[in-house]
Amino acid sequence: MFDKVRSIFAHGVNIKHSLLKVAISCAENGYAVWFITPQEINSLPDNLPIPDTEVSKLLTFLYLKDYSDFLSILHGIHGWNKIPNIIIVNSLNVYVREDNNDFVSAAHIISNVISAGMVCAKKHKDNKAMVLMGCSNIDFYKKFIDLHCSEVFNADSNDLGLIVNG
């Protein structure tokens, strides 16, 4: 699985900002990116430049409010005309029922993100894709990271630019 889909878990206080930075960098490098987030992004943080028109065409923002919407989009990815190279999920905790310690829902969500990444990989000529899942707190997800993610980044101490170049 890891040879076709690079699966990354990122965490940190300012995770949304860090993930936006990665999304823009990936698009600047020519990759189609889906940025999934529960809340609409009305403006970029001050230190992020506004992407030019060509880069913006490679960015798709999907505002999915809950578990059901999230799974619906992932399960329908094969039907989209513009299949991304990279899927970035901001605020993974919104889609996982971690408040109830629902480890089954966490495993289900993470597995579905990686499965969607596998669909993306099959649709691209290089047979590769990347999924980047992020949230502010890593504690709940420690049980799943070793099983499902090839890399882990702390956005507060690591440069997530390594993700783009790695």
C-alpha–C-alpha distance, residues 70 and 90, integer Å: 12
Give residue-wise pLDDT tens across range 32-79: 999 999 999 888 877 788 899 999 999 999 999 998 999 999 999 989
Domain limits for position 64:
5-39+51-165
Residue 45 lies in a domain: no
Instruction: Count other C-beta atoms under 10 Å from residue 78's C-beta.
Output: 11
Instruction: Look at the chain and report how many structural domains it folds into.
Output: 1
Give residue-wise pLDDT tens across range 8-40: 999 998 899 899 999 999 999 999 999 999 999
C-alpha–C-alpha distance, residues 141 and 10, integer Å: 11
The β-bridge partners of 89 are: 36, 133
Dihedral sign (CA 153, 157, 161, 165)? negative
Does the pTM surpass 0.85? The reply is: yes
How distant, in Å, are the alpha carbons of 31, 84, 137, 164 from that of 57?
10, 12, 31, 18
How distant, in Å, are the alpha carbons of 2, 58, 75, 116, 117 from that of 129?
10, 15, 16, 9, 6
CATH number of the domain encompassing residue 107: 3.40.50.300
Residue 44 lies in a domain: no
Residue 46 lies in a domain: no
